[in-house]
């Protein structure tokens, strides 16, 4: 962004021209349209060996795999294990990155964004890329040596800088796109003042709530003709999208007796090391599996009875100051406890202690044994059938309830993208998945049912429609009553004057109320905030509809704006609102690009 500041200073005319072109691209069809169904089907025929396609650009399956492997290599270099769920996340990130880069490249070309050699050079001089800052060739005594870097940049020995130049050349257009968005939003003085008022100024006011119950259900007729008409005019609301169902078997990842015994033996060995003089704190830092304990040597601080699980508490309070426990088993695993001090606080005994936790979990050998069993099931299921394999392995076949493609989770199982992709691939009913692993189990799925989209019939939704129409009519009637109540209040200037005639109304008083806090019994409402801001003391608002209720507000007074504090806060508020608008503008633009792009995800048919 600092580069963009320099460009703003020196090339503002060019960039404002780009801004105009950019706005034109948004309004003259750049973001208009969508995927024509015939075009999509024709592109499907070109998807052989492709993971997907974005606006006609294919992501080859081999390229997609290489991109995933590049990500996995970074995990391996950091000695991180990758679960199947993490693998799904990486795969999705790679796919989304391809979509974004493809769409952005098209916009960059449309706007004619080009990068000069001088821009590349100035960027390298003023903003060395991080991978060069960390490169050993530009280090002196373990620190980045800018002069050494600058000498190398200004005295090339050949074409060694060409890859770096190409990297910068490819990145700068994206910087310029972002710069355009940084110049689109504006924050007005009134927005800044209102934001300050919402958070710092308090108000005294009254509200008169006109409840929905004021209009009785029995007083409003709804006919069958009205229900039928509403159904025909709003039929899209009752479209049930295509759904899929899966059957599955599950291999639970549970520790064996041998795994439990191994953890017990390990914690015994740690106890013996501490008894032989090694520091409890040092051993806890190295071995405990309590996340906070590894940072503070297992320190639990002071605690009293009733704050720990029963087995832990019983063992801890039985120890004397300086004493070390034997292994203590809880639902979390095995613990070693050392009491460092004891005291009486408010008549209650408290202790200060440290602990080491070793969790009981499946060992790698246990996991691999279970994985082998699950893979054998996959082989058998494809050979003799899903049901026969489940019977042979003594497994229970379970079923999901129907779910749609846009649902992020599978009913009863949660977030399993691999299973979701299988369900909505082009593969036929009966297709069996590969092994899918989570932190707690191995799953094998079979696509069991496809239900095409359909409209729920009138006979199924007539009661729902009755209630919708009834509520709309009751709301309209309540609006009329609210207007009549307002006319009466306006004459007297007092909200309470109508309570005798309408005892169901609810009068509330608010004192020193901040506008960022919702009214009692309501969710936050911009309509309420805007109404209060627009009122003068002793002024009464028109009825405001909030969901099915109406509210009339009378402002009593508001605390004056602290001008000195406002001056101090003003610029920070401006920057906060501006950053929010910038991020929202960019995110909305990118989202709209994706919505109107021709995107075909073919990954489920390969992976």
What is the structure's pLDDT at 389? 96
Q: What is the 3-state secondary structure (H, E, C) of 15-71?
A: HHHHHHHHHHHHHCCCCCCCCCHHHHHHHHCCCCCEEEEECCEEEEHHHHHHHHHHH
- Beta partners for residue 144, in sequence order: 139
How far apart, in whole angstroms, are the C-alpha atoms of residue 594 and residue 289? 43
- If you average pLDDT over residues 362-390, what whole number do you get? 94
- If you average pLDDT over residues 354-375, what whole number do you get? 94
Per-residue pLDDT at 448 exceeds 50: yes
Domains of the chain, with CATH numbers? 2-184+589-605 (1.10.4030), 202-238+459-559 (3.10.50), 242-254+364-452 (3.10.50), 257-358 (3.10.50.40)
Residue 395 contacts residue 377 (beta carbons within 8 Å): yes
User: Which tens digit of pLDDT belongs to each residue from 476-513?
Assistant: 999 999 999 999 999 899 999 999 999 999 999 999 99
What is the structure's pLDDT at 323? 94
Apex 384 CA angle, 382 and 389, nearest 5: 85
How far apart, in whole angstroms, are the C-alpha atoms of residue 109 and residue 120? 18
What is the structure's pLDDT at 69? 86
Share of the chain above pLDDT 70, in %: 91
Per-residue pLDDT at 118 exceeds 70: yes
| Local structure of residue 414 (DSSP, 8 states) | B
Q: Does 6 or 347 have the greater pLDDT score? A: 347
Longest Cα separation, the chain: 94
Per-residue pLDDT at 10 exceeds 60: no
Strands 549-558 and 599-601: unpaired
| Residue at token pair 């309540």 | 478
Per-residue pLDDT at 5 exceeds 50: no
Q: Tell me what the pLDDT averaged over the chain comes to.
A: 87
Least confidently predicted of 109-123, 354-368, 455-469, 529-543: 109-123
Residue 86: Cβ-neighbour burial (10 angstroms; 0-12, 13-18, 19+)? middle
Per-residue pLDDT at 375 exceeds 70: yes
What is the structure's pLDDT at 606? 63
How far apart, in whole angstroms, are the C-alpha atoms of residue 276 and residue 270? 10
How far apart, in whole angstroms, are the C-alpha atoms of residue 54 and residue 35? 10
Share of the chain above pLDDT 90, in %: 63
What is the structure's pLDDT at 114? 84
Q: Which two tokens stand for residue 384?
A: 């003799």
What is the structure's pLDDT at 24? 45
- If you average pLDDT over residues 183-205, what whole number do you get? 92
What is the structure's pLDDT at 176? 84
Residue 566 contacts residue 224 (beta carbons within 8 Å): no
User: Which tens digit of pLDDT belongs to each residue from 197-236?
Assistant: 999 999 999 999 999 999 998 899 999 999 999 999 999 9
What is the structure's pLDDT at 46? 54
Question: Quick one: which of 414, 408, 453 has its CA closest to 436?
Answer: 414
User: Which tens digit of pLDDT belongs to each residue from 251-286?
Assistant: 999 999 999 999 999 999 999 999 999 999 999 999
Cβ neighbours of residue 560 under 8 Å, at least 6 residues apart? Answer: 201
3-state DSSP call for residue 158?
A: coil
Per-residue pLDDT at 146 exceeds 70: yes
pTM across the whole model: 0.60
- If you average pLDDT over residues 411-425, what whole number do you get? 88
Backbone angles phi, psi at 178, to 5 degrees: -65, -35
User: Which tens digit of pLDDT belongs to each residue from 300-336?
Assistant: 999 999 999 999 999 999 999 999 999 999 999 999 9
b (16+ CB within 10 A) / e for 446-484: bbbeeeeeeeeebeebeeebbebbbeebbbeebeeebee
| Residue at token pair 């390990």 | 266
User: Which tens digit of pLDDT belongs to each residue from 41-82?
Assistant: 344 445 667 889 999 999 988 898 888 888 888 777 776 667
């Amino acid at each position: 962004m600092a580069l963009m500041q320099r460009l703003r200073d020196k090339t503002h005319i060019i960039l404002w021209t780009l801004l105009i072109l950019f706005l034109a691209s948004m309004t003259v069809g750049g973001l208009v349209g969508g995927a024509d169904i015939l075009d999509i089907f024709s592109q499907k025929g070109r998807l052989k060996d492709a993971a997907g396609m974005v606006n006609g650009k294919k992501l080859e399956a081999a390229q997609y795999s290489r991109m995933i492997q590049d990500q996995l290599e970074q995990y391996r270099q950091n000695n991180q294990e990758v679960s199947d769920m993490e693998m799904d996340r990486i795969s999705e990130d790679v796919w989304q990155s391809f979509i974004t880069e493809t769409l952005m490249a098209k916009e960059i070309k449309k706007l004619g964004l080009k990068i000069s050699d001088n821009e590349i050079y100035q960027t390298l001089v003023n903003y060395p890329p991080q991978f060069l800052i960390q490169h050993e060739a530009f280090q002196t005594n373990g620190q980045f040596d800018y002069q050494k870097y600058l000498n190398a940049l200004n005295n090339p020995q050949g074409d060694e800088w060409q890859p770096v130049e190409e990297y910068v050349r490819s990145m700068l257009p994206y910087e310029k796109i972002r710069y355009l968005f940084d110049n689109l939003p504006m924050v007005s003085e009134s927005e800044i003042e209102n934001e300050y008022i919402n958070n710092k100024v308090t108000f005294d006011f009254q509200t008169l709530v006109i409840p929905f119950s004021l209009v009785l259900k029995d007083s409003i007729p709804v006919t069958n003709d009205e229900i039928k008409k509403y159904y025909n005019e709003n039929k899209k609301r009752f479209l049930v999208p295509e759904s899929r169902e899966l059957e599955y078997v599950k291999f639970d990842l549970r520790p064996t007796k041998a795994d439990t015994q191994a953890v017990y033996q390990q914690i015994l060995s740690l106890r013996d090391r501490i008894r032989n003089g090694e520091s409890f704190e040092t051993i806890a830092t190295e071995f405990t599996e309590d996340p906070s304990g590894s940072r503070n040597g297992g320190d639990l601080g002071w605690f009293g009875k009733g704050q720990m699980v029963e087995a832990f508490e019983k063992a801890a309070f039985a120890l004397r100051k300086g004493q070390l426990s034997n292994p203590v088993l809880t639902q979390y695993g095995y613990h070693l406890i050392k009491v460092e001090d004891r005291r009486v606080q408010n008549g209650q005994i408290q202790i200060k202690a440290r602990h080491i936790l070793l969790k009981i979990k499946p060992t790698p050998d246990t996991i691999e044994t279970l994985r082998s069993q699950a893979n054998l099931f996959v082989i058998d299921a494809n050979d003799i059938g899903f049901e026969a394999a489940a019977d042979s392995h003594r497994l229970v076949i379970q079923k999901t309830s129907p779910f749609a493609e846009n649902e992020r989770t599978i009913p009863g199982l949660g977030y399993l993208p691999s299973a979701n992709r299988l369900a909505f691939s082009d593969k036929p009913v009966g297709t069996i998945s590969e092994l899918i692993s989570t932190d707690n189990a191995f799953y094998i799925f079979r696509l069991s049912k496809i239900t095409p989209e359909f409209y729920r019939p009138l006979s199924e939704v007539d009661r729902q429609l009755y209630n919708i129409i009834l509520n709309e009519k009751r709301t309209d009637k309540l609006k009329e009553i609210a207007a009549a109540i307002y006319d009466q209040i306006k004459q007297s200037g007092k909200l309470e004057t109508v309570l005798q005639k309408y005892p169901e109304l609810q009068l509330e008083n608010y004192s020193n109320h901040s506008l960022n806090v919702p009214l009692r019994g309501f969710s936050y409402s911009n309509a309420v905030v805007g109404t209060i801001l627009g009122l003068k003391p002793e002024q009464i608002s028109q009825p405001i509809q909030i969901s099915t209720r109406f509210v009339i507000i009378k402002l009593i007074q508001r605390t004056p704006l602290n001008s000195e504090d406002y001056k101090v806060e003003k610029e920070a508020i401006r920057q906060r609102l501006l950053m929010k608008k910038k991020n929202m503008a960019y995110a909305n633009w990118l989202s709209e690009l994706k919505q109107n792009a021709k995107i075909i995800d073919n990954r489920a048919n390969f992976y």
